[in-house]
């Protein structure tokens, strides 16, 4: 079984920042990532609110953060963590690529997009239903698209989609967006963007590919059909903590409970970034969490081993 000082689960900005600090502390560090490095950054177009970078592409920032961690010695492996055993002095991390032992563990697994949970969503996934504008937007050149949601992701990615689509309609269940004001201002002044308020999607229909949505007008209690070529769904995120099987305490949505040092109730086990409760869910705060967790992990190791 391979042994490390610190294992970090998650290769997003939190995990990369933790890896950078841990590597510079000369801890034998392993970052485990199941997919692309960068976490949500990997599926984000422009990032304009990461201090020091007026504008940078999400995947580029994600890769830069990881390259920085690797430069200082952090190792990375592409594996899926299946479970953890936190009972002994050494934590065991069981993955589809073997089991690793570690003196300390940082859970930085971030979150996954939510589904709408309506008929047709699964059937047309990849056939007009998408959760990633950066990945799929270019397939919809001169097409009419709908974006569901009213948060930062819906409005920002909706604006990105206007580079390809002839029209992007945001469908929101309330009459006011949740997104940051600067994103709202840009959306309202974008000629290609339109809004349908107080409405939800009841069903996604098509024949091989998406062709229409059944919308529910909540104010007038009326259902009607709208023709569309594609639907991008941005209705929030759920923390990726399922693999923990309840070993660590979470809130109702699955966010980890941690203190200001990012410590969980298990000594030597930390939770950081979007996966923790009360996170502000920003790249800037995620890297701060990662640095904090790594600093206190190093202290824990120095005091206990």
Q: From residue 78, how far is each of 82, 93, 99 by CA, in Å? A: 13, 14, 13
Q: Which of 2, 49, 132, 238 binds ligand NAP (CB under 6 A)?
A: 49
**Site membership for ligand NAP, residue 291 (CB under 6 A):** no
DSSP state of 95: E
| Vertex 215 angle, CA 214 and 219, to 5° | 150
136 is catalytic: yes
**Site membership for ligand NAP, residue 196 (CB under 6 A):** no
Q: Where are the alpha helices (DSSP H) in 138-236?
A: 152-161, 181-188
Residues in binding contact with ligand NAP, number by CB under 6 A: 20
Using CB under 6 A, which residues numbered 200 to 229 contact ligand NAP? 200
User: Whose CB is nearest to ligand NAP?
Assistant: 151
- Of 5, 136, 229, 289, the catalytic one is 136
Cβ-based neighbours of 248, under 8 Å, separated by 6 or more:
86, 107, 241, 256, 257, 264, 265, 266, 269, 271
Whats the size of the chain, residue-wise? 305
Q: Which of 33, 70, 152, 263 binds ligand NAP (CB under 6 A)?
A: 152
**Alpha carbon 138 to its chain's center:** 21
**Site membership for ligand NAP, residue 173 (CB under 6 A):** yes
- Of 96, 135, 175, 251, the catalytic one is 135
Closer to ligand NAP by CB, 156 or 289: give it. 156
Pairing of strands 98-107, 56-57: unpaired
191 is catalytic: no
- Least distance in Å: CB of 237 to ligand NAP? 5
User: Mind telling me the catalytic residues?
Assistant: 132, 135-136
Q: Please give the residue ranges that form the binding site for ligand NAP (CB under 6 A).
A: 49, 116, 148-154, 156, 173-174, 178, 200, 234-237, 281-282
């Amino acid at each position: 079984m391979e042994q490390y000082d610190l294992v970090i689960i998650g290769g997003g900005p939190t995990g990369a920042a933790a890896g950078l600090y841990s590597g510079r502390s000369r801890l034998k560090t392993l970052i485990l990532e199941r997919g692309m490095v960068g976490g949500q950054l990997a599926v984000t177009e422009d990032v304009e609110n990461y201090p020091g970078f007026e504008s940078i592409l999400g995947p580029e920032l994600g890769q830069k953060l990881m390259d920085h961690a690797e430069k200082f010695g952090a190792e990375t492996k592409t594996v899926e963590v299946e479970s953890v055993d936190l009972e002994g002095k050494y934590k065991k991390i069981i993955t589809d690529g073997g089991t690793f032992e570690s003196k300390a563990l940082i859970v930085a697994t971030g979150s996954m997009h939510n589904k709408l949970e309506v008929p047709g969503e699964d059937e047309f996934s990849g056939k007009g239903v998408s959760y990633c504008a950066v990945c799929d937007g270019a397939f919809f050149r001169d097409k009419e698209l709908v974006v569901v949601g009213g948060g930062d992701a819906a409005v920002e990615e909706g604006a990105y989609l206007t580079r390809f689509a002839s029209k992007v309609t945001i469908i929101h269940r309330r009459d006011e967006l949740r997104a940051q004001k600067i994103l709202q201002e840009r959306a309202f002044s974008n000629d290609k963007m339109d809004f349908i308020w107080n409405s939800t999607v009841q069903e996604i229909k098509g024949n091989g590919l998406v062709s229409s949505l059944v919308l529910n007008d909540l104010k007038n209690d009326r259902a009607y059909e709208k023709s569309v070529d594609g639907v991008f769904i941005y209705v929030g995120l759920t923390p990726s903590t399922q693999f923990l099987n309840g070993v660590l305490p979470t809130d109702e949505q699955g966010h980890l409970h941690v203190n200001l040092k990012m410590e969980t109730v298990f000594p030597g086990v930390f939770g950081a970034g979007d996966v923790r409760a009360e996170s502000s869910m920003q790249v800037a705060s995620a890297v701060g969490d990662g640095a904090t967790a790594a600093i206190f992990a190093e202290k824990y190791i120095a005091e206990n081993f």
